[in-house]
Copies of this chain bind each other. A is one copy, B any other.
Amino acid sequence: MANVDSVTIRVFSLNCWGIRYLSKHCRQRYVMIGDMLCKEEHDIVLLQEVWSEKDYLFLKKKLVCSHPHSHYFKSGVIGSGLAIFSKHRIHDTFLYRYSLNGYPYMANHGDWFGGKAVGMAVLSIGSLTANVYVTHLHAEYCREKDSYLPHRVVQSWELQQFVRHTSAGADVVILGGDLNMHPEDLGNRLLRSYTGLRDSYVETSNFHGCENGLTLLGDNPFISKKELGSFEKGIRIDYILYKGSSKTDICCESMSTTKGSVPGHPFPYSDHEALTAELRLESHAASESGRNKQSEDQESDTEKVAELVDIVTEARTEVKVGLHCAERMRYTATRTAAMGLALLFLELVIAAVPWLALGAEQPFPRTSFYLLAVLCFVILLTTSLLYIFYTMEVKSLQGAEDQMRLALGGLQEKLRGFPLAQPHNAQRKSPEGEEPSAFDPEE
């Protein structure tokens, strides 16, 4: 396979829903997944929610012949749940932990403990260098009132930054995983527009699988219909994205998803459907086709930059909303701490100056005194921890917002630089300053 001019690779992605003792039929499903992967021999297998290292090791053992190279990304308390198996040599790996990932006290949602991240592996496919990314973003528990939206937007922002900045040396970029976002959700648009990654499902003309490419099906036995809300049939939240480089063209020859049930088995592989994309890579001389394309694409480039300005502005607004919430929560924690402190002070005063007590003849009851003191301490401890946590959240949101503002400045500079962009730019500037913040990058 060395020095190939053209090669086809098969990429697989699945959210395994592998919470030991909690996920239904976990053990049996891993056996099914292992058997299938062993048989199918995909070039690259990207798994999410492999929460237990034991399950990863089980798969590793099972796939030792078909996929001799593998890596398990560790992060957070029980996570990251990300694993990669490959037929091609993995040279290098790198993990980026998202700065925001839910709240530790939302233990029922558990995302915080998963330490969500994006894992990168550098692979050699023949003579080509492929940067392969696997990720899993924060879940969406309630679409109508999604308190995690700012976190997911910041995760998307960091994901696109990570992919963009680490893939400059790669011939091919492949990203797979559970993005927990509908195809046209803000974070998804941000990721695709900024990185230039293309969606296998959209790009291929040869698709087999669930209607509309759904990956979370309404009739999956492990899913309660309630979770899907108004999307009764299901939603598409798992993706395989890709892009080439100046040296390599890439296209999606075919794409498929599992359709719920697995022949010969009483239940599916997971609560998500598995994705398989067949990608054709073709290496060519960088200069020629690249340069021809460049002049052709100038007009569409302008469009793209203008679109990106809109998307980043939208993301920035969302981050600002999150910032407002985080600051309010931090303020609440501070106020509660102050009340706890005041209560403690009052109690000490009452105890120290017995004649202040209402019934002067009987002293402050000892049991009540201790209980009240303990209550004050618990309040102070909890609010201090919350204050620290919210301050970190505020810092992360502010940091993302600063970066977005800087990026917007650069994009608008670029727009002004495009000869074709002038009218567009002028037009965007005029409508009664509806989004002035996008135009003051150095504010």
Interface residues of A (CB under 8 A from B): 71-79, 90-97, 99, 104, 113, 115, 120, 161-162, 165-166, 168-170, 366-367, 370-371, 374, 381, 385, 388, 391-392, 395-396, 398-399, 402-403, 406-407, 410
Choose from B77, B367, B398 the contact partner of A370 (Cβ within 8 Å): B367
Determine if B92 and A407 form an interchain contact, defined as CB atoms under 8 angstroms apart: yes
Choose from B97, B161, B402 the contact partner of A99 (Cβ within 8 Å): B97
Query: How many angstroms between the C-alpha atoms of A169 and B79 in the bound complex?
Result: 31
Determine if A75 and B99 form an interchain contact, defined as CB atoms under 8 angstroms apart: yes
* Given A90-B406, A169-B169, also A392-B76 (CB < 8 A): yes
Query: How many angstroms between the C-alpha atoms of A73 and B403 in the bound complex?
Result: 9
* Given A169-B169, A370-B370, A371-B370, also A115-B395 (CB < 8 A): yes
User: Which residues of B sit under 8 angstroms from A402, Cβ to Cβ?
Assistant: 71-72, 74, 93
**A58 nearest CB across to chain B (Å):** 16
Determine if A406 and B99 form an interchain contact, defined as CB atoms under 8 angstroms apart: no
Query: How many angstroms between the C-alpha atoms of A280 and B86 in the bound complex?
Result: 43
Determine if B97 and A97 form an interchain contact, defined as CB atoms under 8 angstroms apart: yes
Determine if A74 and B169 form an interchain contact, defined as CB atoms under 8 angstroms apart: no
Closest to A381 in B: B381
User: Which residues of B sit under 8 angstroms from A71, Cβ to Cβ?
Assistant: 402, 406
Determine if B370 and A74 form an interchain contact, defined as CB atoms under 8 angstroms apart: no
Closest to A414 in B: B91
* Given A374-B374, A392-B115, also A398-B99 (CB < 8 A): no
> Could you give 18 example pairs across A and B, Cβ below 8 Å?
A71-B406, A74-B399, A74-B402, A75-B399, A77-B391, A78-B391, A90-B406, A92-B406, A92-B407, A93-B402, A94-B162, A94-B403, A115-B392, A115-B395, A165-B165, A166-B166, A370-B374, A381-B381
Determine if B92 and A410 form an interchain contact, defined as CB atoms under 8 angstroms apart: yes
User: Which residues of B sit under 8 angstroms from A391, Cβ to Cβ?
Assistant: 77-78
- Chain B CB within 10 A, most for which of A78, A169, A392: A392
Determine if A94 and B165 form an interchain contact, defined as CB atoms under 8 angstroms apart: yes
